Structure 1
Amino acid sequence: MTHETVEAWTHDMRSMAQEGVEAPQRVGIVGLGLIGGSLALRLKSSGCQVLAWNHRQHPYAHARAMGIECFDNLTDLAAARPDVLVLCNPLAAMPAVLEQLKPALDTQHTTLTDVGSVKGIVRQQVKRVGLDDCYVGAHPMCGNELSGWQAADEHLFHDALWAMTFCEHTDYRRVMAVAGMITRQCRNRLIILDDQTHDRAAALISHMPHVVATSFINMLTDNADRNIAMALSAGSWRDMTRVALTDPDRTKAMVEENGGEVAQLLRSLSARILAVADELDAEQAGGAEAAQADQRLDAFFAKGDDYRRRKAMMKRQKEPGEQTEVLFNTLHVNPDHWREDFLASAKRGEHIVRFTAPFRAIIEDGPSVK
């Protein structure tokens, strides 16, 4: 990798349309809910032709007024030959959606992707219907506790990071098609990794926290002094329980889709919490163990200091008027080992900003913890 200044990177950006990967001009969206609707609006704002289908047609009047071409059935959407077709439907509907798409889908032309938070199970479903040759997994790291077309907002994708996923059979041409949509049409960043690594990470930073947040509000609900506790609640409670406000059926489905990874993490978290409880008991009991328990508690609360410093630095960089120099790097990818190169880049905490050639990308350092 070579370091580049902001000025050099900006110059590179001006020539990117000529030498970079092609951006898809026609993108199909299956499902106009919060994510699908927001993505459709984001793509439309960049000048992309957006084609869409939704299982109910109530969003169509507004969507058409926004310039989105809506289809009455999935077959017609597939037959329209979008460059990229994004599956934004619930996972439970995926088998039926794929079965309807397959007969009309031009797999030589259209690249298939999705926005689900679990990748392994989607790839299995895609493979089951014989569409895995044109599929690349994708997961935009954005969203909120709302749902439906009425909550759709193109700004949901502002400064979003996407995870793209591959398997051992993934066609690199398909990776570039989806990457072009993300970096050029959505104006977002991305990382590229395998399905299994993604699902483990998603369980840690999303699926498990949903269970924990739900446990918090369940504990409050069961507590005899719940109204007093609610009166005392402020920022920390709000931040720790925000995701618990999501539709519980949607949360349950998401957690179950990655159930194995979530269960393992919950057991690990339970062991950590029980260890803290034991240290607190030892400290309260006094005696010879109290001092050692206090030291272990110090170590527990200080363990995440590197993460705290990194987050504080990121917050300062976003403050108005803050002058910070951002260094961009060039990532050169070996065509014979692109999977390994992209995964290593993701593990270093690098985010791909845009491709300047099929095997060359501009990257920026993302948040990393030693």
Structure 2
Amino acid sequence: MKKTILPLDVLHTFLSLSPWSMGHIAQSFGVSRTNLVSFLHGRPAIGSQKALELLDWAGLYLDPSGALRLQKGVHLWKVASERELESLLRIPKSLLDPEQGVDIFFEIGVTQRDWLHLLIRSTEGQILLSLRPQVFFLLRDQHPHWNRPHAVYQHPSGWNHQQIIAFLGGQGRIHIPESEQNQHFQKAQPDYLQKLADWNAWAEWASYQMGIKLPGSEPHSLSGEQKTDETACRHAWRTLRHRLEVPDGVHPEIVDVPIFPLPEQRLFPEGLVRLDRLLLGAQAFQLAREGKIRLYVDSRSDKRWLIQTASALPCGRLTPWGEPVPSGHPALYLRGDRLEISSAPGGTCLGLALACLQDIVSPDPADLDW
């Protein structure tokens, strides 16, 4: 019988976006927090059958390809912290940019403007996404249609978001099945909303402060075509700095690359540089994760070379490349007791050059190798 392999990183991402703590999720499902966290980190703390029960309980399932999918119904996610924002950024964009569009969930009786609730109508399952206002500004850059909701929904009994959370939490659930969806979300008609003082005040805030074009209204613009929020900018920088503060091997978007000198041979690196997946690209990032990337700095010039090696060696002398080098492609060669990067073969090839970065010494674009 073929063993089912769960994408634990995706499952961890989905659960980390829940408005409930990992401890509450574990208790509601019937396991200890320690066992749940250990399981999500790849340790066999939960049996395979229990793991499949966890998926179903959380409103998830595995498709035939082994990918984790959302069941029909409503999934509740929130994004307030840097960690939660990073989790959301790992979600496939197609899940957050559905063709069916995005709606607003409106809370009656809530006068604080601490949260914005979007109802994302994905083809897999709906997502009630609760965002801090500054987070909304950041994500709107990537999802511009979010500020053009199609409709407004509310709870039939007038419950706010926290009351829905409390109701589900009291029942030990984190997902609203499709059969109960209409018990919690009802489309509000414009003529009804316009009679509500709460709605008029909220709509003014959403339109003027958040730049949201509500159904049946004209968009408003502050200070140009798009509002710039300094708090959101600071939040973005804190989020990206968080990547640099997490040790290598822990953060999924960051990798440490050792720096070696040229032309001398050294057994140990002279420094480290922390690089982001966005800079390296997916292929080089994976190689760096495997320990097969070094950065060589040529003391005789202003060039720095990103080199792919044949084996994972954080320290020590490199093993021969062992594969043909494409004609004219620069590579790292050992010639005598000196290392050189050249497009002309000669000596022992130790690695393939992936990119070159050099100081800008002239405005001529031809001087930029990378």
- TM beyond 0.5: no
Structure whose CA Rg is larger: 2
Q: Report the TM-score when normalising by structure 2.
A: 0.24
The structure richer in strand per residue is 2
Higher helix share: 1
